[in-house]
Structures are given as structure tokens and as C-alpha cells.
Amino acid sequence: MMKYTKVMVAGAAIAAMAMLAGCSGTAGATDGADFPKKGSSIEWIVPSAAGAGNDVLARIVGPTMQESLGANVKIVNKEGGSQIIGLNYAANSKPDGYTMVYTNIPSILGRYLDPTKKAGFDRESFTPIGSFASNSIVIGVNKSSKYTTITELFDAVKAAPGEISVGTDSRAGDDHVNLRILEDELGLDFNIVHYNSGADKIAALVSGEIDFALGGVSSFFGQYESGEVEILTVINDEPSPFIPDVPTLASAGYEVEPMNNNFAVSVPADTPDAVVATLEASLKAATEDPAVIEKLEGAATQPEWVSADDIATLWAEREETIKPIIDELLEEQ
């Protein structure tokens, strides 16, 4: 299993800028050597609403990329269709580096592996430029919930199979897949309720419409800090630095592989290698910028650099693992 290196600030920005300089050689314009042109604009497509988690993080990282690239980085929200609209737009854009898009792993898998969503793209439609952060998966309950520990919740699920309700942000999305993994690994049976977005899922949790919800720690953090939501567990080997007092699932005696999201960014397939390298270096430098790190952590998101090559490998591995699970979920509809 690949080991990914956590962000280290010292010296990394220098190396990244050296990469940027190396990408501005004398090769012809058709290979992207003159990218980006002075005064040009690069669209960062956010396939979700303004103010949502992805949007907030893009607006933290984008300005620092803009400084290193010497070009405008414009955050463009294209929401709808469980992110399909924005992803389709990016996949069909000119492969010149002036359009990039979130391709978060594993959430993007459910967008194109579910044929009912009619996505006009797949993994081969994109070339990753890297991932700048990660997010541990947690389980949360309403502040008034009678379940105060993950053991109490799972014991209740075992006592009443199919009755304890849990929300997801979409059918066959990463929440749904992660819940199926928990069901299979731990012998549980949830009453799974699908919502149109992560915001809708959290609203249902806060209102008491569902018994619990699963998702990235950053999506729960605001409601956790305000006291509207209690987080029962982190599905990881180590506690989250943002909620250090919340126990891990492993510490409660449950054996499940760690779950997390990678905030990956890609460009359309066939984008020239020199352009990909320039964008990768800029994203890496931004990820390692102390001001960006502080803001990402303030948004309960762990800065963590993963290279373009490693993200491409991770994407292929996760697709191979998750596709059978999504196929099974779709057969049950």
C-alpha cells in the first residue's frame, strides 16, 4: 500500500518553484512550454455550490496558486446533478491547462460508475495534478441523540436491523459505499436515506430527521463546534487533530480499514505534460505555504500533499476496489 508524505514546509516551496522554472523552457507552444500566458485566466471548476466545503478550500488555495503562476485563478461554481454538470464541463474543456476541476477520491467514483447518473466522463477523461488535503471520515449524531458512544449506536443497529436511519449525500456516492463497507465488515444493517448534497444530509441530522450520519470531519465541524452535533468516532487509526478527544473506531474494538477523502484536482485528459507539471508545482507550493496551511486547518481539513502520479495510482486502485461495491448497491435499487 502506498505511503503518502504529510506536508513539510521547510524547503519545499523552493523545490516547487524550481519545477515551475523548469517548465518554461524553449519548446514550442503546442507542448505547453509558454503556459500560462501572462494575464490569462485559469478556471478552477467547483462542481458544487458557493460556500460548500470544496468551494471554501478552493478559495483558500487558489490565490496562492495565482501568485506563483502569474495568471488569474478564477473559482467557478457549476453545481447540479450530484456534481455531474461541473465535471462534464471540465472533462469536455480544451486540454490546455486553463480549466481544472475537483476530482475528489473516492467521491468522484460514484459519479461515473453509476450509469443512471449519465456522466459523460470516466477516470480516463482526466489527468490529475495532485491532491492538496485530506479529510478523515467520522460518524455524528444529533445533540439530543440517546446514543453517546459508537458502541451504543452499533449495538442498537444490531438489535433492530434495518431500522436505525443514516443519511448520505447521494446514492452510490462515497458515503453510501463507506456505509456498505461498515455493514459488510461489522455485520450491521442500516436504514440508509439518500439526500441531494452533504449540506442537506447535515441539515437532516441537526433536525433529528435521521439517527446518525457519516462523512468528512470538515462537513460536521461547524455544527460540532456550535454544539448541534456530537461526533462519536473517527474511522481511522489515529485521532483527528481537529477533534483529538473523539475516539477512533479501532479504539472501540472495531476492525475496519481507515476511511478518508483526498481533495484531488485534475485537468482534462491530453493536457500537455509541461502544463500538468507547471500546475502540479503550483498546487504543491500552495499546499506548503504556511498561510494556506493555517487556513486549511481552520476549515478542519488536513493539509497533505499527494503527487499527480500517486493520485493517479490511488484513483485506479480505489476504482478497482469500489466498483464491485457500487455495482452491488445498484443491483439492490
What pLDDT sits at residue 30?
53
Give domain status of residue 121, yes or no. yes
Give domain status of residue 7, yes or no. no
What pLDDT sits at residue 13?
41
102/123 Cα distance (integer angstroms): 13
Give domain status of residue 289, yes or no. yes
What pLDDT sits at residue 80?
87
What's 51's domain CATH number? 3.40.190.150
What pLDDT sits at residue 173?
85
Whether residues 212 and 140 fall in one domain: yes
Whether residues 31 and 52 fall in one domain: yes
Give residue 313's domain range.
Answer: 12-134+261-331
Whether residues 151 and 72 fall in one domain: no
What pLDDT sits at residue 333?
62
From 221, 252, 283, the end of a domain falls on: 252
Whether residues 62 and 97 fall in one domain: yes
Whether residues 299 and 215 fall in one domain: no
Give domain status of residue 201, yes or no. yes
203/213 Cα distance (integer angstroms): 10
Expressed in percent and rounded to 5, the helix, strand and coil fractions of the chain are 45, 20, 35
What pLDDT sits at residue 331?
83
Whether residues 128 and 185 fall in one domain: no
Give domain status of residue 172, yes or no. yes
Domain count, the chain: 2
DSSP for residue 188: -
Give domain status of residue 218, yes or no. yes
DSSP E strand boundaries for 61-210:
72-77, 99-102, 126-142, 165-168, 191-194
What's 236's domain CATH number? 3.40.190.10
What pLDDT sits at residue 82?
82
What pLDDT sits at residue 76?
98
Q: Cite the DSSP H helix spans in 123-256.
A: 150-159, 174-186, 198-207, 217-226
Whether residues 248 and 182 fall in one domain: yes
Whether residues 246 and 266 fall in one domain: no
What pLDDT sits at residue 5?
40
Give domain status of residue 4, yes or no. no
Whether residues 17 and 125 fall in one domain: yes
Q: Which residues of the chain have pLDDT under 70?
A: 1-30, 333
From 197, 232, 252, the end of a domain falls on: 252
Whether residues 276 and 128 fall in one domain: yes
Q: In this predicted model, what pLDDT tens digit does every residue of 224-276 receive, in sequence order? A: 999 999 999 999 999 999 999 999 999 999 999 999 999 999 999 999 999 99
Give domain status of residue 79, yes or no. yes
What pLDDT sits at residue 18?
40
Sign, Cα dihedral of 194, 197, 201, 204:
negative
Contact 70, 36 (CB under 8 A): yes
What pLDDT sits at residue 20?
42
Whether residues 232 and 200 fall in one domain: yes
Contact 276, 175 (CB under 8 A): no
From 252, 269, 297, the end of a domain falls on: 252
What string of DSSP letters covers 311-331? HHHHHHHHHHHHHHHHHHHHH
Whether residues 39 and 119 fall in one domain: yes
